[in-house]
Chains A and B, each alone.
Chain A
Amino acid sequence: MKKVMNMVNAINQGLEIKLEQDKAVIVYGEDVGVEGGVFRVTEGLQKKFGKERVFDSPLAEAGIAGTAVGMAMAGLKPVIEMQFSGFSYPAFNQLISHVSRMQNRSRGNFKMPFVMRMPYGGGINALEHHSESMEAIWGHIPGLKVVIPSTPHDAKGLMISAIESNDPVIFLEPKRIYRAIKQEVNEDHFTVPIGKAKVVSPGKDITVVAYGALIREVQKAAALAKKEGIDVEIIDLRSIYPIDRETIASSVMKTGRILTVHEAPASFGVASEISQIAIEEAFLHLEAPPKRLTGFDTIVPLPKGEHHYAITGDKIFYEIMRTVKY
């Protein structure tokens, strides 16, 4: 059975299916129980599965992540929520010191089936700390997997994969498109593999890699480029770590040009990784230097200044043309 749903509904359904199937799954965080989360992603789950399995925790991110480590070591499968990615940093110590290391430290004795969900990214006219895209921070930590869906379908499939994984997964939800994109999604159990990118639309002139809320902007840019006779291949990365080298490499070998787009700051970012993969895997096919279009190395401005920072379809189009004309 298929049903039209947005990303909020889709993640909710992914959680519901796993709560139904597996008694070890526990969902908690700030306001996720009675209220169903500030974005309503966990709405109705406490009612259905009870307060022992879906609950409001004290307001303490380090505690939420740290207790989840204990739960995972003891055989549960915690799915925790950080209310906004910008508030996850008290939990950073647990992530970098324990979540990411426990399997290695215990030589595989303790698995770490740990999922940390959090909304991220800009474009919603929010207060400070509610607009950043800091995925590279998590991708930089050995031992973590990091995924970012761009569609309801992928959000549900990746959530189920994340919960079923024995490895810790950071699940970043692009809040700008929580409700903006609707599509038909299979209501049953299905997975989307972690570590596998998706070719959103094939093209022959340039590869554009993006993820999360920016896929829509890339599609706008590709439409503009088409009018100029430029055929864009769009790749939705979906997993920040591990990165799907093969999909990127085979695309660049075909197009000879690559542009990576993200909202996060440029330095030490995902785009640099992608460019390096293009250099390593397809050097002799390159017709232009691998290019990146990213947020500035600045704080995301408050709403009155956020337009300066935003990555728009127009700006992506501009970079596509520059790369093509190189």
Chain B
Amino acid sequence: MFKTFDPIKNKTFRVMDNEGKVTAANAKWMPELTDEQILKAYKDMLFARKADLMTVNYQRQGRIYTYPPNYGQEAISGAVAQVMREDDWLVPAFRELGAYLAKGATLQEMFMYFMGYEDGSLFKNAKNFVPISVPIASQLVHAAGIGYEIKYNKKDQVVYTFVGDGGTSEGEFHEALNFAAVWDAPVVFIIQNNQYGISTPVGLQTKTQNLAVKAVAYGMEGIKVDGNDFFAMTKAMQEASEHARSGKGPILIEAVTYRKGAHTTSDDPTKYRTKEEEQKWDKTDPLDRFKKYLIEKKLWSDKEEEKILPEYKKEIDRHFVAAENYGEYPLDDVFKFLYTDMPDNLKSQQVEHERYLKWKEGK
């Protein structure tokens, strides 16, 4: 597959067209999934989209701080969810909500993080999920290091890690690919090429015709995939996971998608892109395509969707309210996690501050 869709020839791996059709010629590229798995994947993506859109609304209502929307990119996380095992590692950037939920993180935790609680990074039910990494591309080298440990201890695990198109310009992106390749580390690097790094189009980030081709220089396989095609993404993830798990080393997947929302809720995309461009990409929407496929196969209907969305809304609201009611942020929490053994001078800073608080109360 990686030979067939050679990034040097600028090939794109695509299985399902914008109308949700899989041609006979493409049937051989369909991922191995049961109808039940396919339907669950769609519903999970739908849930993630609903949660994402609602989060933007909560932000507009002033109930949550800055949030980076996932809108339009749901198939990428949806595909990772099909292959990621409980023991596998997830090393995120910050725009992969569906993958977090698949790993076992809860919406409440996600909301808490973006409300400004570090406790939102506790991930009580998610194994091997590291906290969100805000400095662009800096997490990729961690993924390579985790991959080294997996090889070192001969574990049956794979690391999934994410970066955006802008992040491929950072030195650490290149260093991570190089380390992982030199070590044959079991890491699947996923570039969510959503066309923009904030306002900067991908064409200003690189002169190469695609991003997957960057794998070639590091001696590893790379593939460009239609990131809005759930089936292509899942097939690519299946092959990549198998490749990594069997000791053949890392893989670079460029998932071509479009950030339908803003970079974050602080950003205004009308400053740098046109309505026409947005409409053009709308035709490739990952959920619309997927739904057309399901309706054609009689696995899903608009009616069922209308019925389920209010249930999703209720559940999302429940998580949100739980996050809102999480309670006070104690002073202790500012100090107590920084070191395993807190140095005395840090303790005395806390004591000094408490003395001030006492004075303030007595005023």
Q: Which residues of A contact B (CB under 8 A)?
A: 30-31, 34-35, 38, 56-63, 86-87, 89-90, 125-130, 266-267, 296-299, 301-306, 308-309, 314-315, 318
Contacts and interface: CB of A to CB of B under 8 A. Distances in A.
B349 A303 contact: no
B199 A35 contact: yes
B308 interface: no
Contacts of A34: 199-200, 271-272
A304 B200 contact: no
A297 B346 contact: yes
Contacts of B360: 314, 318
Contacts of A86: 134-135
Contact of A60 (B132, B171, B271): B171
A191 to B, nearest CB: 32
Most chain B CB neighbours (cut-off 10 Å) among A59, A86, A128, A305: A59
B315 to A, nearest CB: 23
A78 B264 CA distance: 29
Contacts of B206: 58
A303 B65 contact: yes
Q: List the 3 closest pairs (A to B, CB-CB), nearest first.
A: A303-B116, A58-B169, A35-B199
B116 A60 contact: no
Contact of B204 (A56, A87, A302): A56
A63 B204 CA distance: 14
A302 B118 contact: yes
A301 B353 CA distance: 15
Contact of B66 (A60, A126, A308): A126
Interface of B: 65-66, 113-118, 132, 134-136, 138, 166-167, 169-172, 197-200, 204-206, 266-267, 271-272, 329, 331, 333-335, 338, 345-346, 349-350, 353, 356, 359-360
Contacts of A62: 170-171
Contacts of B136: 59, 87
B135 A129 contact: yes
A127 B166 CA distance: 19
Contacts of A306: 116
A59 B335 contact: no
6 contacts: A34-B272, A35-B271, A59-B170, A89-B135, A298-B349, A302-B117
A308 B329 contact: yes
B116 A302 contact: yes
Nearest to B204: A56
A309 to B, nearest CB: 6
Nearest to A126: B66
B118 A301 contact: yes
Given A87-B135, A127-B134, A304-B117, A35 B338 contact: no
B353 A308 contact: yes
Contact of B329 (A58, A89, A128, A305): A305
A257 B40 CA distance: 69
Most chain B CB neighbours (cut-off 10 Å) among A60, A125, A130: A60
A297 B199 contact: no
A289 to B, nearest CB: 14
B359 to A, nearest CB: 6
Given A62-B171, A296-B335, A297-B346, A304 B116 contact: yes
Given A297-B345, A314-B360, A90 B65 contact: no
B14 to A, nearest CB: 27
Contact of A63 (B65, B114, B171, B198): B171
A305 B115 CA distance: 10
Nearest to B174: A60
A305 B170 contact: no
Contacts of A298: 334-335, 338, 346, 349
A199 B166 CA distance: 44
A298 B331 CA distance: 12
A223 to B, nearest CB: 16
A60 B136 CA distance: 9
B350 to A, nearest CB: 7
Contact of A56 (B171, B199, B329, B334): B199
A200 to B, nearest CB: 24
Contacts of A90: 135, 138, 170-172
A59 B134 contact: no
Given A125-B65, A125-B116, A296-B350, A63 B334 contact: no
A31 B200 contact: yes
A108 B66 CA distance: 46
Nearest to A56: B200
A38 B198 contact: yes
Contacts of B166: 30, 58-59
Given A87-B136, A129-B135, A303 B115 contact: yes
Contacts of A126: 65-66
A301 B334 contact: yes
A262 to B, nearest CB: 14
A303 B117 CA distance: 7
A306 B329 CA distance: 9
B200 A63 contact: no
A305 B267 contact: no
Given A34-B199, A58-B200, A90-B170, 12 more contacts: A30-B166, A56-B204, A57-B204, A59-B170, A59-B205, A90-B138, A125-B65, A296-B349, A297-B346, A303-B115, A305-B117, A308-B329
Nearest to A302: B116
A120 to B, nearest CB: 15
Contacts of A56: 199-200, 204
Contacts of B114: 127
Given A34-B199, A38-B266, A308-B329, A127 B65 contact: yes
Nearest to B65: A125
A56 B117 CA distance: 33
B329 A304 contact: yes
Contacts of A296: 334-335, 346, 349-350, 353
